[in-house]
Amino acid sequence: MSIHIVALGNEGDAFHQDNRPSGLIRTYLGRSPLVSGDESSLLLNATSTVARPVFTEYQASAFGNVKLVVHDCPVWDIFDSDWYTSRNLIGSADIIVIKYNVNDKFSFHEVKDNYIPVIKRALNSVPVIIAAVGTRQNEELPCTCPLCTSDRGSCVSTTEGIHLAKELGATYLELHSLDDFYIGKYFGGVLEYFMIQALNQKTSEKMKKRKMNSSFHGIRPPQLEQPEKMPVLKAEASHYNSDLNNLLFCCQCVDVVFYHPDLKEVIEAHKIVLCAVSHVFMLLFNVKSPTEIQDSSIIRTTQDLFAINRDTAFPGASQESSGNPPLRVIVKDALFCSCLSDILRFIYSGAFQWEELEEDIRKKLKDSGDVSNVIEKVKCILKTPGKINCLRNCKTYQARKPLWFYNTSLKFFLNKPMLADVVFEIQGTTVPAHRAILVARCEVMAAMFNGNYMEAKSVLIPVYGVSKETFLSFLEYLYTDSCCPAGIFQAMCLLICAEMYQVSRLQHICELFIITQLQSMPSRELASMNLDIVDLLKKAKFHHSDCLSTWLLHFIATNYLIFSQKPEFQDLSVEERSFVEKHRWPSNMYLKQLAEYRKYIHSRKCRCLVM
């Protein structure tokens, strides 16, 4: 591969011809920094200069194995003497270099008036470099008289050079001297950039020609199209915190009531939520003993703030429902009690919005000391046993992510009898649970426990049609907002349970799990697995999982050659079979073309270019 450069113009100084150094091109070829320090090289050949009637030719090696041919013509009269040769050389050039001396206005006008019109006619997206050589010695403005030619000896301004470059769309360079910096790094860097671009273009064209020449002139092999894109499933956003936050306002399944020191009712709440975020409430409601907590500050906070009232003569006790009435808790601190509604709203919303809590308390308590005192008590309630209370700066804590106490701490109560107020009977075993969480997270459960159903008054509730493992996974999602099925079969069972209790987000999670598992299987595993994909499709349709059923139909069609060989493929309905045949991959047309091509190859005893 070779690169052809054409250099035009005279960069010599008309006033200092005796002391003029070597030309720009020859200096670059002889002193290029590519000669050392790089695996690429640019070496002058021993017989590199050959005199020609029009051009002086230089030959060199660039980048190790690229032939570099440079034709240099410094005088217009010689260029114009052999127009045929000059035109052919410019037409075949990969890079054109135009050079003049900034102290020789005559050389500039020769380039502008003679070379430029020729280059404009022959130029075809070839990069052009305009090099202004020398340091200006006369910066006086030339005479503007149209009859005066005194400006022929004055210097060429930078503006004139830039204007000329704009006419050609060229790169303009000013080389104050022909030393290593201006030649090697400045001019050489730009020239080598265009050389690399020329090599890339020639390589691309060569590859295209090679593909054209190597084309098979018989029957071409059929082109296998890409399979259709699978439907995209969008995950449903979590509403976990809003569910628990709404529980505070709906007043369902209340099992604790807080009272003012003067025995006025303040607010209702739920033990399970309070214990999920605070060891103080665990101690207060006997979930944990002082021995288990082993933190004197938590024990002291519990004793200072709260007291349980079990007096049967308590005001309003006679009106309470029989059976299991809410626990009455007296709030000893009057200031804390006045802000309790805001504090509970803060806890139910995730216990991380400290700035909002401080602002709400400040609206009720005008004194800043009282505000700080209440905030400190809230921090003590949320304290972890055995650790120093690090919740010092509310603003710093506000910038962090929410603590999501519930989805980590509520798991502590999953399938545990502590604070449980309902028991599910499944396959001969019992599973304890908490009505408040079930009501907050599941609308079907909320209707079941608060409507005119037997479950509303019953403690033991039988569950049919679901295994214990599946129901525990369902409860795990309600308590923690996450689940991890063991496999595709369990995910489908959990999807059926979620559809039974109308928990749409859990359905989407199971759908995504099944899709992810199937997509990750290689073809060999799909062919050998025992899972009935058609049965999976029919279950998805029966339980109104439209997204999954549509995706499974596309999945069967995309893997047609695998699933069409399985016996369950015959269980597809007429409508499903029609859809799969329409969207199958590879298509029936492609298989016919492939069979014809193979038959042709074997009949001609020739070699396939693709296979």
* DSSP, res 401: P
**Same domain, residue pair 64 and 184:** yes
pLDDT higher than threshold 70 for residue 44:
no
Q: Which two tokens stand for residue 128?
A: 């052009």
Q: Could you tell me if 537 and 552 are in contact, meaning their C-beta atoms sit under 8 angstroms apart? A: yes
Q: How many domains does the chain have?
A: 4
pLDDT of residue 407: 52
**Same domain, residue pair 413 and 349:** no
- Tell me how far CA of residue 500 lies from CA of 1, 188, 514, 543, in angstroms: 73, 76, 18, 8
* DSSP, res 462: E
pLDDT higher than threshold 60 for residue 390:
no
For the segment 151-179, what is each residue's pLDDT rounded down to a tens digit? 445 788 889 889 888 888 888 988 888 77
CA distance 544 to 563: 23
CA distance 283 to 341: 21
Average pLDDT, rounded, for the chain? 82
Q: Is residue 148 part of a domain?
A: no
Q: Is residue 214 part of a domain?
A: no
**Same domain, residue pair 350 and 439:** no
pLDDT higher than threshold 90 for residue 560:
yes
% of the chain at pLDDT higher than 70: 83
Give me the mean pLDDT over the 452-458 stretch: 84
**Same domain, residue pair 432 and 300:** no
| Residue 297 CB neighbours (<10 A) | 14
Between 430 and 311, the higher pLDDT residue: 430
Q: Could you tell me if 341 and 266 are in contact, meaning their C-beta atoms sit under 8 angstroms apart? A: yes
Q: Is residue 224 part of a domain?
A: no
Q: Could you tell me if 326 and 335 are in contact, meaning their C-beta atoms sit under 8 angstroms apart? A: no
pLDDT higher than threshold 50 for residue 470:
yes
Q: Is residue 395 part of a domain?
A: no
CA distance 581 to 575: 10
**Same domain, residue pair 180 and 33:** yes
Look up the domain containing 73 and give its range.
Answer: 2-138+155-209
**Same domain, residue pair 344 and 442:** no
CA distance 560 to 527: 11
**Same domain, residue pair 72 and 43:** yes
Q: Is residue 221 part of a domain?
A: no
Q: Could you tell me if 93 and 73 are in contact, meaning their C-beta atoms sit under 8 angstroms apart? A: no
Helix (H, G, I), strand (E, B) or coil at 215: coil
The residue among 421, 443, 448 whose CA lies nearest residue 433 is 421
pLDDT of residue 21: 45
% of the chain at pLDDT higher than 90: 38
pLDDT higher than threshold 90 for residue 495:
yes
pLDDT higher than threshold 60 for residue 297:
yes
pLDDT of residue 190: 87
pLDDT higher than threshold 70 for residue 196:
yes
Q: Give the strands of the sheet with 429-433, arranged side by side.
A: 429-433, 422-426, 460-462
pLDDT higher than threshold 70 for residue 4:
yes
Helix (H, G, I), strand (E, B) or coil at 196: helix
Instruction: Provide the pLDDT confidence category of residue 343 given band limits of 50, 70 and 90.
Output: very high
Q: Where are the alpha helices (DSSP H) in 465-528?
A: 468-480, 488-500, 504-519, 523-528
Question: Could you check whether the bond before residue 586 is cis, i.e. omega within 30 degrees of 0?
Answer: yes
Instruction: Provide the pLDDT confidence category of residue 47 given band limits of 50, 70 and 90.
Output: very low
CA distance 409 to 382: 12
Cα–chain center distance at 261: 55
Instruction: Provide the pLDDT confidence category of residue 22 given band limits of 50, 70 and 90.
Output: low
Q: Is residue 580 part of a domain?
A: yes
**Same domain, residue pair 549 and 469:** no
pLDDT higher than threshold 90 for residue 478:
yes
pLDDT of residue 179: 76
Q: Which residues contact 191 (CB under 8 A, 6 or more apart)?
A: 5, 28, 95, 97, 129
Instruction: Provide the pLDDT confidence category of residue 608 given band limits of 50, 70 and 90.
Output: low
The residue among 422, 430, 535, 441 whose CA lies nearest residue 488 is 535
Instruction: Provide the pLDDT confidence category of residue 141 given band limits of 50, 70 and 90.
Output: low
Backbone angles phi, psi at 4, to 5 degrees: -110, 120
Instruction: Provide the pLDDT confidence category of residue 426 given band limits of 50, 70 and 90.
Output: very high
Q: Is residue 192 part of a domain?
A: yes
Last residue of a domain, one of 465, 500, 535: 500
Q: What is the CATH number of the domain that holds 259?
A: 3.30.710
Instruction: Provide the pLDDT confidence category of residue 316 given band limits of 50, 70 and 90.
Output: low
Q: What is the CATH number of the domain that holds 444?
A: 3.30.710.10
**Same domain, residue pair 359 and 426:** no
**Same domain, residue pair 288 and 430:** no
**Same domain, residue pair 164 and 268:** no
**Same domain, residue pair 436 and 540:** no
